[in-house]
Structure 1
Amino acid sequence: MSAPDQSDRRAAAAAPGQRRTDTRFGLPAATALVVGSIIGTGVFALPSALAPYGPIALVAFVAVTVGALALAVVFGRLSERVPGSGGPYVYAREAFGEFAGFLTAWSYWITAWAGNAAIAVAWVGYVEVFVNKGHHTWASITIALAGLWLPAAVNLTGVRNIGAFQVVTTVLKFLPLGFMATAGLLFVKSGNFGAFNASGGSALGAVSAAGAIALFSYIGLETASVAAGRVRDPKRNVRRATVYGTLACAAIYLLGTLAVFGTVPHAQLTGSTAPFTDAFNTIAGGTWAGNLVAAAAIVSGLGALNGWTLICAEMPLAAARDGLFPSAFAKVRGQGQVPVFGIVSATLLASLLTVVSYTQFTKVFTEIVLLSVLTAVIPYLVSAAAQLLWLVQHGRAELDRRRLARDVTVTVLALAFSYWSIQGSGYQTVYYGLFTVLLGIPVYIWLKRERSGNATAPAAPSGTGTAAPAPVAHPVRTARPVGLPTIILRALRPRHQH
């Protein structure tokens, strides 16, 4: 069982008669957090990335949606047991120890800034509806870098400006997507879809490859669990917000992508950098409607980058306070407690990846998407494994048979979906992604060495005026390293001997 929520403790200790304003998220706000994190500019570029596979990509999208919903349920169940902030990081640490927690946080951090690079690349496609229509490489790079650093500047000004910026951009992003997912379906023509499997390979291979790309659309479904400590009644609302938010995005994604596939000829769609703009131009005639969509996509992209830049800093901030990330990430500045190092370092890395991608990759958006999907799937996989471990060890004692069977089925589906997503990423992506994740091992060794060196320092007695470490909303555990064979044996060992 986890420690009580620190915010609830402080609320209970408030002076009698003092009016307390509860600033935590309710269910609507928590659901909006999920939806706002999932929907960025990726959806605006996704139809072009899926077009080379043909309409079979829609089958992959449905399969990914089922897997994403299974993951949403798993995160909801995990948040019921561990309601504090941290999401995949704290679940991994709670189940498998510090090293698993570190690798999960490291992988998730890579997902955040690599995903920002992908969002920036998709954002460039819509900016170039108005400028750089010749798509000159270095002009595109300059635009992408501007898109990365403008939200970083907003983040550096504090939480108040971040929130205001996010509200406006979230509202605007729904306008073109909602229209395309509803009225756009009336303009679909079967002749625009092209060959069902345009990849030229096997159907299973096409579904797997398209599914790995489509999964990028759902990255962010876990954000309510990451911020669970800020959600009112997290044991109830995190699960509902995660599932409701994922369902809402699924409806927009599936119907919107179907409409774009059916309104833009397949040959044109495969080479498009702004597929929703092309779809609106086809529907309305001329370019005015497409320009409105492009403007909305630009605003949406800036909003997504604004939110994910915050996540880039918040995840390592939580891990650094536990001693599982470099201490520089734990430093904050000003009254707004701005994690400057986390914001600037993540934006620099995203900028570097963007430049490398434009100069080295032929399919810039697709290549970065696959990398960020792979590093996202690792925390998803570990979280599903943590839930399965708990079900095997404690499920029979704490759940009825029907609930246990349902939870095991959903968790196994989420686990299998995670493995399938890795397989669909391709050999090159797995190579680069695994190499990037394993780069974290020397960092972990360095952190352990520093902590071992500080372990002999005398602890400051209470009441001396020494500043205490910032409290965290999840349990801090000291766990011995556990090998994978031991984990498996423990999971399979019967709870009761007969």
Structure 2
Amino acid sequence: MTDITRRPFGFWTATALVVGNMIGSGFFALPAQLAPFGFTSVAAWVAAITGAMVLALVIAGLSRAKPEATGTLAICASVLGPLPGVLIGWSFWAGIWSANAFIALTAVRYLAVFWPPLAFSSFTLVAGAVGLLWMITLLNLRGAPAAGRFQVATTIIKLVPLAAIIVLLVQLGAGGGLTAGAHPHAPFDPRQLSSAVTLAFFAMVGFECAGVAAARVRDPARTIPRATLAGVGLTGLLYLIACSGIIFAMPQEVVAGANAPVALFVESFWGRGAGLAVAGFAAVAAIGALNGWVLLQGEVPLGMARAGVIPASIGRTDSRDVPVGALVASSVLASVLVLSNITRDTAAIYDFMLRVTTAATLWFYAGACVTALVLGVARPAAVIGLAFAFWAIWGAGYEAIGLSLLLMATAVPLYFLARRSAEQAPEPAPVA
């Protein structure tokens, strides 16, 4: 197997993976979730972007310190020990497949703008989400190169509506439509900041994906830091301008009650045709994000299995080096999560899944910061990042925190199973 086959991701593909995983359902859904917070949402974006940049510096430092590692999770396991490593990795993996459930639902909601029967009932919406999830899973079963090419294509496409939103906001700003008094919004409330940051940070999750998939990246010591910081910087700036602009350009209650807030924003100022175009781009963006996260939902267990912290059978790959079992199991769990909420209110499940996903992934970021402190890598950033991670976890609320810890604990039996298998492995025969 050649190096280009084993490590198909260069700088542009790795950056597209970072940007593509960050720009997806979060951006196109969060204006409605954050609108009730008013001016607090702006501070939340600033805090979330700053926290992501600090955490990105930590993960980039770990990649430079141990470029031979198969990913950030493997570094955590090697430094903190196998049990903390498997708990951190398992929590991150749970966050990935729960996010995929949310992303698939968001994509189908935007596709329903063009084909309303998709949203005719909760059953059709859920069925469409599960179908889309498995279509992307089948794409990833073809191998990482195919998934990487699809990621580059969808990342380029999804930047088009973002550019249009920026142009529209500039137009509104020049015409006075973005002044502070144009529409009344809730004032800044520091008591709500932690909760708002937890929601906003969901859209930032994904910046670590190049480090997690380090085994697929060429020259990881150089490529991963550059791709991660470039992706976070670009995406964070777009979020701050576009999402906040949408919230303040329209009445707060209108944005908060919108099913497709980005499409509604464009339609309100440029007409129905432009709104439909943005709805199409939003669907593409969500599908692209789903592709990137489906890729990672197989890579995370693969990296853990190769690091020896879970049974090796979980990381078994086929002739294309695809972890088929881990990939399929992840999509099954995401499907079960979607189907289990078939009777719940859409807004309530969106809010809960946002918080659970963020809480679950933040344990991984906290573990990366602790690892950096132990190694003596990027210590100032690691201290700040650790404080930010715990603050954002607290903002998720008791229910989401409890579920994230419960999901993390399910990895303990796998850890002891891996240890037993290692202890029972036969000793290699001595060389004559």
* TM-score, scaled to structure 2: 0.91
Structure 1 residue 171: Cα displacement: 1.1
- 364-373 vs 436-445, which moves further: 436-445
- 1:227: which partner in 2? 213
Cα deviation 1:433-485 (Å, max 9, x = unaligned): 1111112222222332232232xx1325689xxxxxxxxxxxxxxxxxxxxxx
Query: Which of 186, 195, 220 pairs up with 2:171?
Result: 186
| Aligned ranges 1:191-270 → 2 under 5 Å | 193-197=183-187, 203-270=189-256
Change in 2 beyond 3 A, CA 1:360/1:238: same
2:27 counterpart of 1:43: yes
Q: 1:93 to 1:134 in 2, by over 3 A?
A: closer
CA contact (8 A) 2:10 2:223 kept: yes
Q: Which has the larger radius of gyration?
A: 1
Structure 2 residue 382 is the aligned partner of structure 1 residue 417: no
2:316 to 331, 353, 358: 331
Q: 1:290 aligns with which of 275, 295, 299?
A: 275
- Offset of residue 232 of structure 1: 4.1
What code does the residue aligned with 1:347 have? S
Change (3 A) 1:147 1:134: closer
Contact 1:85–1:230, Cα closer than 8 Å, also in 2: no
2:136 to 146, 151, 172: 151
What is the rounded CA distance, in whole Å, between the counterparts of 2:342 and 2:194 in structure 1?
Answer: 25
- For residues 27 and 169 of structure 1, do their structure 2 counterparts lie closer, same or farther at Cα, with a shift above 3 Å needed? closer
Q: Which protein has greater RCO, CA pairs closer than 8 Å, 6+ apart? A: 2
Which string of whole-angstrom CA distances, capped at 9 and with x for unpartnered residues, describes residues 18-57 of structure 1? xx99965443443223212222222111111111212311
Q: Evaluate the alpha carbon distance shift between residue 23 and residue 148 of structure 1 in structure 2; reply closer, same or farther with a 3 A threshold.
A: closer
Q: Superposition pairs for residues 381-460 of structure 1, below 5 Å?
A: 381-391=366-376, 407-454=378-425, 457-459=426-428
**Which residue matches 1:127?**
111
Counterpart-to-counterpart distance in 1, 2:339 and 2:295:
22
Instruction: Give 3-state SS (helix, strand or coil) of 2:399's partner.
Output: helix
Q: Is the 8 A contact 1:79 1:225 kept in 2?
A: yes
**Which residue does the alignment assign to 1:488?**
none
Return 5+ residue gaps in structure 1 as ranges: 1-6, 12-19, 396-406, 464-498
* Cα-to-partner distance string for 1:287-340 (whole Å, 9 max, x where unaligned): 11111111111122222111211111111112123332244422222x323322
Q: Please identify which structure carries the higher helix content.
A: 2
Partner of 2:327: 343
Question: What CA distance in whole angstroms lies between the structure 2 residues aligned with 1:161 and 1:77?
Answer: 29
2: CA distance between counterparts of 1:341 and 1:233? 28
Contact 2:6–2:216 (CA under 8 A) maintained in structure 1: no
Q: Cα–Cα, structure 1 residues 320 and 306, in superposed 2: closer, same or farther, change >3 Å?
A: same
Is 2:25–2:107's contact at 8 Å kept on the other side of the alignment? yes
Query: For 1:265-280, what aligned pairs fall within 5 Å after superposition?
Result: 265-280=251-266
CA spacing shift, 1:382–1:321, aligned 2, 3 Å:
same
Hey, what does 2:71 align to over in structure 1?
87
Question: How far apart in 2 are the matches of 1:252 and 1:118?
Answer: 22
CA distance in 2, matches of 1:283, 1:461: 77
The answer to whether 1:105 aligns with 2:105 is no
| Structure 1 letter corresponding to 2:423 | S
Q: 1:232 to 1:159 in 2, by over 3 A?
A: closer
- Equivalent residue for 1:161? 146
Change (3 A) 1:154 1:193: farther
CA distance in 1, matches of 2:423, 2:314: 19
Q: Tell me the C-alpha RMSD between the 2 structures.
A: 2.5
Give the counterpart letter for 2:411 in structure 1: G
- The one-letter code sitting in structure 1 at the alignment partner of 2:185 is A
- AA partner of residue 82 (structure 1): K
Distance in 2 (CA, whole Å) between partners of 1:184 and 1:146 is: 36
Per-residue CA distance 1:94-115 (angstroms, 9 max, x = gap): 2211111111221121111111
Give the equivalent residue in structure 1 for 2:39: 55
- The 1:410/1:252 distance shift into structure 2, 3 A limit, reads same
Question: Which of 65, 69, 87 is the aligned partner of 2:53?
Answer: 69
Q: 1:192 to 1:327 in 2, by over 3 A?
A: farther
> For residues 263 and 146 of structure 1, do their structure 2 counterparts lie closer, same or farther at Cα, with a shift above 3 Å needed?
farther
| Alpha-carbon spacing, 1:79–1:281, altered in 2? closer, same or farther (3 Å) | same
Q: Distance in 1 between matches of 2:131 and 2:262?
A: 22
Distance in 2, Cα, partners of 1:329 & 1:365: 30
Structure 1, 262-271 or 318-327: larger mean CA deviation = 318-327
Structure 2 CA distance for partners of 1:461 and 1:108, relative to 1, 3 Å: farther
Q: 1:264·1:278 contact (CA, 8 Å) conserved in 2?
A: no
Q: Following the alignment from structure 1 to structure 2, what is the Cα–Cα distance between the partners of residues 226 and 257?
A: 27
- Aligned-partner Cα distance in 2 for 1:297–1:414: 31
Percent identity over the alignment is: 32
Using a 3 Å threshold, how does the CA distance of structure 1 residues 90 and 321 change in structure 2: closer, same or farther? closer
Gap change, CA 1:230 and 1:344, over 3 Å in 2? closer
- Higher mean C-alpha displacement, 73-82 vs 186-195: 186-195
Shift of 1:172: 0.9
> SS where residue 363 of structure 1 aligns?
helix
CA–CA distance in 2 between the matches of 1:21 and 1:339? Answer: 15
CA 1:229–1:345: 2 relative to 1, 3 Å = closer
What corresponds to 1:373 in structure 2?
A: 358
- 1:449–1:134: structure 2 CA closer, same or farther, 3 Å change rule? closer
Report the 3-state secondary structure (helix = DSSP H, G, I; strand = E; otherwise coil) of the residue aligned with 2:104: helix
